[in-house]
Structure 1
Amino acid sequence: MGFRLRRPDTAFSYDPSGKEHARRKDEGHLAFVRKLPCLITGRYGVDPCHVRYGDPLYKKSRTGKGTKPDDCWVVPMIRKKHDEQHDQNEREFWRAQGIDPLAVARDLYAVSGDEEAAKRILTAARVRKAA
């Protein structure tokens, strides 16, 4: 005689309510990020690059291939680096860069609209990487 354990829908989710939230879009923030220099190279002409992996430290859920994360989880990246990031293990890519993209994305969202503050955040991330 067999039995089956039932797993609640919320067993492995970060949201204890079990309700999925609609993706939060913020076109204003995306437009702001497009004006910034690349997080890795410092060059202009960037895309807002969504960070897909999840991390409970930041209360960020992982998103799959067919889903984009909320627009608050973006960093500015030139197209070449953006493609590299998505063509490999994302955590390994960022580990090799020596940059915590979730901390940068969080900090950029907090100062959205303030280009000087954002440039200081990006410069500090690159300096920590070089150290």
Structure 2
Amino acid sequence: MSSRILRPSTAFTLDPSGKEKKRKKDEGHLAFVRKLPCLITGRYGVDPCHIRYGDPLYNKSRTGKATKPDDCWVVPMIREKHDEQHSQNEHLFWKTQGIDPLAVARDLYAISGDEEAAQRIIAAARVRKRI
């Protein structure tokens, strides 16, 4: 006789409550990120690029293609790099860049509105990329 192990619907989620969360929007933060230089190239004229992959270190759930993550999980990227990032394995893309986009997104959200501090965060991430 065989038996089947039933897993609760929350078995592989970061949120054990089982409640579906609504996406947190922050138009002010998105407008702020649009003023910043690209995290990869340093050029201006960026889009806020949502980071979709999840990481328990940041208490960030993975989001699928049909949904966007909360607006706190964005980094500034020129359109070319933004498209490139979404056209391949996102985690591998960032590993190749040598940048932790979740750390940058977290730090940018914490100082949202302070362009000088944001410039320092982006510059530091780009310097670590070259090392």
Q: TM-score range by the shorter chain?
A: over 0.9
Identity %: 81
What is the CA-CA distance between 1:100 and the residue it aligns to?
0.2
The residue aligned with 1:13 is 13
Partner of 1:85: helix, strand, or coil?
Answer: helix
The residue aligned with 1:95 is 95
Q: Within 1, Cα distance between the matches of 2:2 and 2:97?
A: 50
What is the TM-score when the length of structure 1 is the normalising length? Answer: 0.98
Q: Within 1, Cα distance between the matches of 2:113 and 2:47?
A: 16
Structure 1 runs not aligned, ≥5 long: none
- Amino acid paired to 2:107: D
Structure 2 runs not aligned, ≥5 long: none
Q: Within 2, Cα distance between the matches of 1:30 and 1:105?
A: 11
1:98-113 matches, within 5 Å, as: 98-113=98-113
CA-based RMSD of the aligned residues comes to: 0.7
What is the CA-CA distance between 1:61 and the residue it aligns to?
0.3
The residue aligned with 1:116 is 116
Matched, 1:33 2:72: no
What is the CA-CA distance between 1:9 and the residue it aligns to?
1.1
Measured against aligned partners, the alpha-carbon deviations of 1:49-102 in whole angstroms (never above 9, x if no partner) come to 000000000000000010100000000000000000000000110011000000
- Amino acid paired to 2:41: T
Length, aligned pairs only = 131
What is the CA-CA distance between 1:4 and the residue it aligns to?
2.5
Moved over 6 A (4+): none
Q: Within 2, Cα distance between the matches of 1:68 and 1:74?
A: 10
Partner of 1:29: helix, strand, or coil?
Answer: helix
Partner of 1:76: helix, strand, or coil?
Answer: strand
The residue aligned with 1:75 is 75
